[in-house]
Structures are given as C-alpha cells and as structure tokens.
Amino acid sequence: MAYALFNFIFLIIFLLPLCTFSQNNGTITVGTSIVATERSTPWLSPSGDFAFGFKKLRSNDMFQLAIWYDKIPNKTVVWYPNVTNPISRDSTVGIDAQNGLVLRDPQGRLLWSTIDIDDDVSHGFLNDTGNFVLVRSDSVSIWDSFNYPSDTLLPTQIIAINGTLVSRKSETNFSRGRFYLRMLNEGNLVLNTRSVPTNSDFDDEYYNSQTSDPANDSNSGYQLVFNERGSLYVLRRNGERTDLTTKRSIPTTSDHYYRAILDFDGVFRTYYYPRSSSGDQEWTVAEYWPQNICMEIDGQKGSGACGYNSVCRLENGKPICQCPLGFYLSEPNDPFSDCNPKFIPICGEDDQKGSAEDVYEMSEVSDTDWPFSDFEQLAPFTESDCKNACLNDCLCAVSIYRNNSCWKKKLPLSNGRLDTAINAKAFFKFRKGNIPVQGSNFPTPEKKKKDQGTLILVGSVLLGSSLFVNFMFVGAACLGFFLIYNKKITNIRPVHDTGVVNLRCFTYKELAQATDGFKEELGRGAFGIVYKGVMPTGSNSTIAVKKLDRVAQDTEKEFKTEVSVIGQTHHKNLVRLLGFCEEGPHRMLVYEYMNNGTLASFLFGDLKPNWNRRIQIALGIARGLAYLHEECSTQIIHCDIKPQNILLDEYFNARISDFGLAKLLMMNQSRTLTNIRGTKGYVAPEWFRNTQVTAKVDVYSFGVLLLEIITCRKSLIDLEFGEGENPILTDWVWDCFQDGTLDTLVKNDTEALNDKKRLETFVMVGIWCIQEDSSLRPTMRKVSQMLEGTLEVNIPPCPSPFA
C-alpha cells in the first residue's frame, strides 16, 4: 500500500512536468482535455504565438472556445467554433480518436465536435501559423481550423470557392452577426448582409472584387489568399493575382503579426501588430473594404450599416451609429441595434382631434438622408412647404428637402446616413408635451406587410359579396378586429393583462420588489434559481419566482406559447403557474409557493415519512402525470421527473413542478445525443438510443421515483446501502423481487411490513415502469389505476434483459 502510494506520488512529481513539456511542441495526444476555468492551461503552438483553449468572457461567467494570439496582451481571438451559445464554466474540450475535437458541457453533453472526419485521429497539432490540425497515424491532416474559419484570416490561410466568413455580434459577443464575406462560384469576392436569425436570402452586395470573367472562366478568381506578409489578393484560375491590398499600406520594417477580419461592424479589415511590442500597443489597421460602409450598403432590403431608423456616419473608416432625436436604442448597449421611435405616427382617431400644429412639432437636422422609405415626392417645393406637408400628413414621420424637392417618408427608415455632399435637410415629426414612450416593439417590415395583407383581403372580400353577407361579415370582422387589437396591445405595452388566459404579466421591477431584490433562495434547478416572494398586489400570498437562465433571446414567441400552454393546466397535483415576466433579457415564472419543500428533502431527510403518506404522494404524482400526458389540450412530457421536482403543499399533497420547461428551454425538439434532458439516475434508456422519445420516458422516471418512495433510498449509487444490498436501487429491487424478499426493501418500517399486498403491488408497478423496452411500460393512466387497485398487476419481466 505504502509502496503504491509512493509510486503514485513519484508519477505525479516527475511525469507531470514532462507531460506539460511535451505539449509545448504543439502536439496534443488523444485523451488530453482542458476544462473551462480561469486557471486552465491552454494548448500552445511550438513558438508560443498561438494558444487553443477557453477564453473567459468579460460580460458574464461564460467562456469561449477559441484560438488566440497568446503573446498579445489582449489575446486577440482568431478562431472559434460554430456553436451559438457561449460555454459555461467546467465544460471540457478534448481530443478523442473517433470524433477529433469534442466539446462537452459540465454534464457531459456534446456541444460540438469535428464530426466531418472519417479516419481515426492520431493526435492534434497547433501549428505556428495558428492552424489547429487533426492528424491521422500516417501524419496526413484530416481536419484543420483553417478550413472552418470564423471571422478571421491568418497569414497563409485561403478562402476557396463557397468559403465564408461571418462577423460576430459585437467585439466581445461571438454570436453570429449580420455580415458575410463569401467567395462566389463565379469568381467574385463579395460582402453581403443577411438578417439574423431568419437566415433568409442574402441582401444586396456592398462590396464586390470584380474578379469574375463570364466570357472566359479560366480568367475568373477562385481563391482569396492572405499571404505571410499580410497581403490580400484574389488568385485567378490562370495564375494571375488581383491585389486588394496596395503595397504601401504594409510596413516592411521589422517583424509583424497580421490578421484580416470581417469586423462586427461589417467592414473587412487587415491589421498588423509588431512582434517586439512593449505591451501597450494596439492592432493597426492597414486597409479596409468597403471604403465607406455607410454609403455602400444601399440595398432596398435590410436596415443598412446601422439598425432601422439609425443614422450612420464614418469616422476613421468606422461606421458610427446614432439614433436621431426622438428615438432610442432598442438594445441600450448595442449602438448597432434599431432605433425605436418614442411615438409612431398613425392615422388613427386620436390624430383627428385638433389641428396638427396643436399635436405635433417639427425638428430640423442637416445633411441627413434616408434614401429609401419614401412614399411621396413633391416638386418643385419650398423648404417650409416641405416641413408643413409632413406635419399635416398623419402617415409622414420624416420629410427630406433637397434641390427644390420634398420626399415624405414613413417608418421604419433604412440606410440612414450623414452626407454633407447632398446638401439635404431632414424634418422630424415630434409629439408635443410629455407623451410617454409607446412601447419598444416597433413594427418590423414583415409585420407591416402582414397587416396590409389582411386589410387587402378584407377589402376584396367585402367588394365581392352580397349585402347581407357583408353585414354579417362586418360584424364578425369587428369582433375579430377587437380580439386581434386586444392581443396587439399586449404585444406593445408592458401591460398587466397578458392575453394569456389566467396568467399575469409581471414587470421585472415588480418581481424584484416582491422578492426583496431576489434575496431568499428557495432552490436551484437545471433551469435557474427559485426565490421566495410575496404577491405584489392584493392577496399578500407567498409566491415562488423562478428566474430562467437558459432561454435564448430569439425564442420570444415560443416563450409566450409555452407559457400559455403551462398556464392552461389545472390539476391538484401540479404546481400552479400564476404569471410570468418577459422583459428585456429577463424571463421569469411565478408559481404558488409550496410550504413543505421538495419530496427529496422529505424522503431522504432524517425523519422518514410514514407509509400511508408515501402512498398518497405516489398516487398524486401518478395522477398528475396522467393528466399532463392525456388530458391537456397539448400533451406535456415532463422529461425531468425526480424527487427534487415534486413539491409538497401544506397538506402534503404531491405537486409536480417544472412541467413544460423542458420544451420551453430547449426549443430544438430534435432529439439527439447533444441534448439529452433529464437527470442521471432517472433518464430512460431511449435517450441514449436512436429511437423515438415519447411520454414513456416519464413513465420510466416515475418508476425509479416510485421505488425510491417505497424504499426511502436514493436511486443513484447510495453510499449508505446496507450489508448485502445492491448499490443500484433498481437492480436491488429486482433482486429482492425475484428472491421473494420484499421485506428487506422496507426494513424497520412496520406500517409497510403490515401492508404486504400493497407493497408487492407497488414494487411490481415500479418494475413495469422501468422496463428498458419502452413499449412494455404501461401508460401513466394505467399506472395510476394499478396503484389504486382498480386494475390488476401482472408479474413483470426482468427490466433490463440485455444487461
């Protein structure tokens, strides 16, 4: 024993430094991995110029898997994998022989891997060029990061036909941005915008290298090359090169690092940085394309270089976005987001009251233009006529006066820009007085189109039908309009009526006050933290506020849908949802508060609950689940049944919580290994197989839970198991059932020992539920009937016949 220990210490002391040393030649052996923490050591290239590992994000407690320039104080990121979400603490990246690079979250779920490879990996290698290569046993490269660029090119890297760079969301946010660089099949290098996240078609180009030759394909471009001296050129098939960089822009003295990046502002720039820098240096821009992005993005689709209604001006080659007076940023921390108007000009009843002068005033700005969004041009016209024309037109938001012409424009305005060359004046309409902000949900072009479509449809139907039908139709339309209108208001204003039946919409502030600044934590789950609070108004009853931390922003619509599905459930064995909050990044659910905590603390605490109470709890859970599976208008599969998710009310009734959240928080319904839900010890085996996942997964978890309720023992390997007990609960129960020694399951529990018939029934139902073959498991309806004794239970087969 002592000798073994000595050996172990010897290994640690002498071999560990050797291992670290061997990694410094750039080779990373299969089986090596890095954990996402501040202290983890990245993999370095032989020269130490580049590192591969986890980089801590500044904004939150998340990490980004990346390759970066390690000797530069800012650790400039040059590559990151195509995963949408930032990575949470304690995730790991490693190399395995079959999948190459594999990124997993702290629970071991696959987030990303280099799946395109066919051969077994011998080792990884971080080249001094910054290229991460996976190598076969015969030293042939089978995957490299240069072939999967993110937004950056490094010297010696090329973009082949159909290759793409995608900008990031902001300097520090690595989510996908709006700008794309592509090498097209016909030989042009182009820059486009594309609206996220709809992934629609590309909008018009704002840069084109003009390197295709439709007449003779062998003169067309086929590669964008960034060479070792920081020059950028398009290589044509005939071997000619068309330089994008002009030679003078690149320093020839001393040694430099280089990079070319499609920046988050849409400009494609080359940069250099002296290798022998004292440390407080920054990257210097060598050249950039296009020369003036504010002017060059001028397609009819999309918002332009900045967001809708914003105005773009160029400073040192960089676009600066600014909201005009009377508008505010829809995302306060992102200057590139849309500018929302403080009021929306509409031709409604409201505007008929009094003259336009009483309600509005006009403000004036020079040299600003929005080339599109006009609905009327008036010429010849004077400046003051132009101003008044907009003032008196209820549709008009802005008018532009230039060269004796007047253009009336409506929202949203796109491609706004400051341009001294055009000598234009813009007049903005304002609402007088202190009119409150009408809301942050400015109608997007798509929304508008839809509304118009509805109107046109209504119009044409009206024209084509008889008087009586019309009469009926108008009545119905009014009712419909009333309903739709009601719903719209909900979308626009943070009102307290939600449009979702029986649910209340809370503001963030209300809930912060209700929970005294989120002070008292009731528990932490897979989806977020739960806080205790008091109902903001009225009843003074206690509530539980669940702060969701995993809802993606672009799932806003689904959030409402799912919340309303949850809100429509009413059963005495479910925790009741009272309301929700959906404000900015905040998503919260408000539930009734349960006095007696979780079943987990009840079952595994010091005072074991009595047998009859346990029976009632098991029955309650079974009924609640049967309701979720069979009686709701939309079937709800819970996916995470475990004692931590069962709460007990003041009468110790079982109440299922967190139902509907699995769907809400993981909208991606494709069931793959990457998003196994549930909790270890309770998840059904089909999560790991390529078979359909159905409500039967809950039956499996319920089976495990039932056995826990019977035995008061945890299903996961329990360190406190007694002499001769199998450490795996389900195996132990099966052994006892086969040996006819059910008594050992409830040792010292006289009530249960005196209730042998029911004990046997419950154990048999539990074993039916945990059948590995999901088709053998009964439905929850049948389970509750068997537990109640209204349906006979047959002898169950072995739950895992293949084990």
Ligand X SMILES: *[C@@H]1O[C@H](CO)[C@@H](O)[C@H](O)[C@H]1NC(C)=O
756 labeled binding residue: no
Closest approach, Cβ 218 to ligand X, in A, equals 5
265 as an active site residue: the answer is no
What is the nearest approach in angstroms of ligand X to the Cβ of residue 762?
Answer: 46
593 and 532 in contact (C-beta within 8 Å)? yes
Closest to ligand X by CB, 88 vs 491, is 88
Please tell me whether residue 522 adopts helix, strand or coil conformation: strand
Among 48, 73, 475, 722, interactor with ligand X by CB under 6 A: 73
The answer to whether 356 touches 391, Cβ cutoff 8 Å, is yes
Sole window of 97-105, 161-169, 556-564, 754-762 interacting with ligand X (rule: CB under 6 A): 161-169
Under the binding rule (CB under 6 A), the answer on residue 82 touching ligand X is yes
Per rule CB under 6 A, is residue 91 in the interface with ligand X?
no
Integer CA distances (angstroms), 113 to 96, 173, 665, 668, 730, in order: 10, 21, 22, 18, 34
Q: What are phi and psi of 638, to 5 degrees?
A: -70, -45
Pick between residue 173 and residue 438 the one whose CB is nearest to ligand X: 173
The two counts, helices (H) then strands (E), for the chain are 17, 44
- 584 versus 597: smaller Cβ distance to ligand X: 584
Q: Does 59 bind ligand X (CB under 6 A)?
A: yes
| Residue 218 found at the interface with ligand X (CB under 6 A) | yes
In terms of CB distance, is 236 or 696 closer to ligand X? 236
Of residues 5, 14, 140, 162, which one binds ligand X by CB under 6 A? 162
Give min distance, CB of 226 to ligand X, in A: 13
CA gap 223, 237 in Å, rounded: 9
Specify the 3-state DSSP secondary structure of 73: coil
Give the number of other Cβ atoms within 10 Å of residue 64's Cβ.
Answer: 20
Residue with tokens 């044409």: 460
Least distance in angstroms from the C-beta of 272 to ligand X? 15
Helix boundaries (H) for 493-552: 508-514
The H or E element spanning position 670 is: none
Task: Between 271 and 593, name the residue whose CB sits nearer to ligand X.
Answer: 271
Strands (E), 156-219: 158-160, 164-170, 173-183, 189-193, 205-208
Of 30, 117, 158, 161, which one interacts with ligand X (CB under 6 A)?
161
Contacts of ligand X in 434-493 (CB under 6 A): none
Name, in order, each residue with C-beta under 8 angstroms of 584's C-beta and a sequence gap of 6 or more: 508
Q: How far is the CB of 715 from ligand X (least distance, A)?
A: 35
Residue reference for tokens 């005495």: 572
Among 86, 94, 335, 416, binds ligand X (CB under 6 A): 86
229 binds ligand X (CB under 6 A): no
Of 156 and 507, which CB lies nearer to ligand X in the complex structure? 156
- Residue whose CB is less far from ligand X, 263 or 749: 263
Classify 374 as helix, strand or coil: strand
DSSP 598: B
Residue 62 or 753: the one with the smaller Cβ distance to ligand X is 62
CB 309 within 8 A of CB 341: yes
Q: Which of residues 20, 98, 238, 595 is near ligand X by CB under 6 A?
A: 238
Tell me how far, at minimum, the Cβ of 724 lies from ligand X, in Å. Answer: 49
Indicate the burial class of 558 (C-beta count within 10 angstroms; 0-12, 13-18, 19 or more): middle
Stretch near ligand X under the rule CB under 6 A, chosen from 55-63, 322-330, 478-486, 631-639 = 55-63
Contact 113, 96 (CB under 8 A): no
Question: x/- binding map, residues 178-207, to ligand X, per CB under 6 A?
Answer: -------x----------------------
Contact, 787 vs 619, CB < 8 A? yes
| Whole-number Å distance between alpha carbons of 370 and 411 | 11
Whole-number Cα distances in Å, 175 to 3, 42, 368: 53, 22, 31
Judged by CB under 6 A, which of 7, 20, 25, 137 binds ligand X?
25
Helix (H) or strand (E) holding 414: none
Instruction: Return the closest-CA partner of residue 393 out of 408, 381, 373.
Output: 408
- x/- track of binding to ligand X for residues 163-182 (CB under 6 A): -x----x-x-x-x-------
Residue type at position 755: D
Could you tell me the two tokens for 487? 């719903």
Give the interface segment with ligand X, choosing from 9-17, 160-168, 673-681, 782-790 (CB under 6 A).
Answer: 160-168
3-state SS string for 602-634: HHCCCCCCCHHHHHHHHHHHHHHHHHHHHHCCC
* Contact call for residue 670 and ligand X (CB under 6 A): no
In angstroms, give the least distance from the CB of 777 to ligand X: 34
Distance CA 287, CA 252 (A): 15
Task: Tell the smallest beta-carbon distance from residue 667 to ligand X (Å).
Answer: 14
> For residue 641, what are its two tokens?
């049944």
Which of 98/668 has CB closer to ligand X? 668
Among 127-135, 467-475, 481-489, 576-584, the segment contacting ligand X (CB under 6 A): 127-135
Residue 653 contacts ligand X per CB under 6 A: no
The CB-based long-range contact list for 712-719 (8 Å cut-off, 24+ gap) reads 712/603, 712/604, 712/608, 712/609, 712/614, 712/749, 714/604, 714/681, 715/681, 715/682, 716/680, 716/681
Residues in CB range of 492: below 8 A, 6 or more apart: 438, 439, 441
How many C-beta neighbours within 10 Å does residue 277 have? 15
Give the x/- contact pattern for ligand X in 526-565, rule: CB under 6 A.
---------------------------x------------
Distance CA 104, CA 112 (A): 7
Give the footprint of ligand X on residues 369-408 (CB under 6 A): 403
Q: Which of 640, 658, 698, 749 is catalytic?
A: 640
CB 677 within 8 A of CB 666: yes
Binding segment toward ligand X, per CB under 6 A, in 54-62, 225-233, 255-263, 360-368: 54-62
> Which among 9-17, 158-166, 680-688, 766-774 is the span making contact with ligand X, rule CB under 6 A?
158-166
- The structure tokens 């097209």 sit at 184
Among 38, 280, 358, 792, indicate the residue that binds ligand X (CB under 6 A).
280
Strand, helix or coil at 373? Answer: coil
Report the residue number, 219 or 694, with the smaller CB distance to ligand X: 219
**Candidates 5-13, 22-30, 203-211, 443-451 — which segment interacts with ligand X by CB under 6 A?**
22-30
Least Cβ distance, residue 551 to ligand X (angstroms): 10
CB of 534 vs ligand X, minimal distance in Å: 30
Cα 639 to chain centroid distance, Å, stands at 20
Minimum Å gap between C-beta 145 and ligand X is 11
Q: Return the residue of 1, 4, 216, 723 that touches ligand X, per CB under 6 A.
A: 216
Indicate the residue among 181 and 736 with the shorter CB distance to ligand X.
Answer: 181
**Distance separating alpha carbons of residues 605 and 59, to the nearest angstrom:** 39
Tokens of residue 279, six digits:
């440390």
> Which one among 64, 91, 92, 127 touches ligand X, defined by CB under 6 A?
127
* 626, 576 Cβ separation under 8 angstroms: no
According to CB under 6 A, which one of 45, 129, 188, 309 is a site residue for ligand X?
129
Of 381 and 721, which has the nearer Cβ to ligand X? Answer: 381
Residue stretches of the annotated binding site: 547
Per CB under 6 A, residues contacting ligand X are 22, 25, 27, 57, 59-60, 73-74, 82, 86, 127, 129, 131, 156, 161-162, 164, 169, 171, 173, 175, 185, 216, 218-219, 238, 280, 282, 403, 553
Residue stretches of the annotated binding site for ATP: 547
Q: Mind telling me the catalytic residues?
A: 640
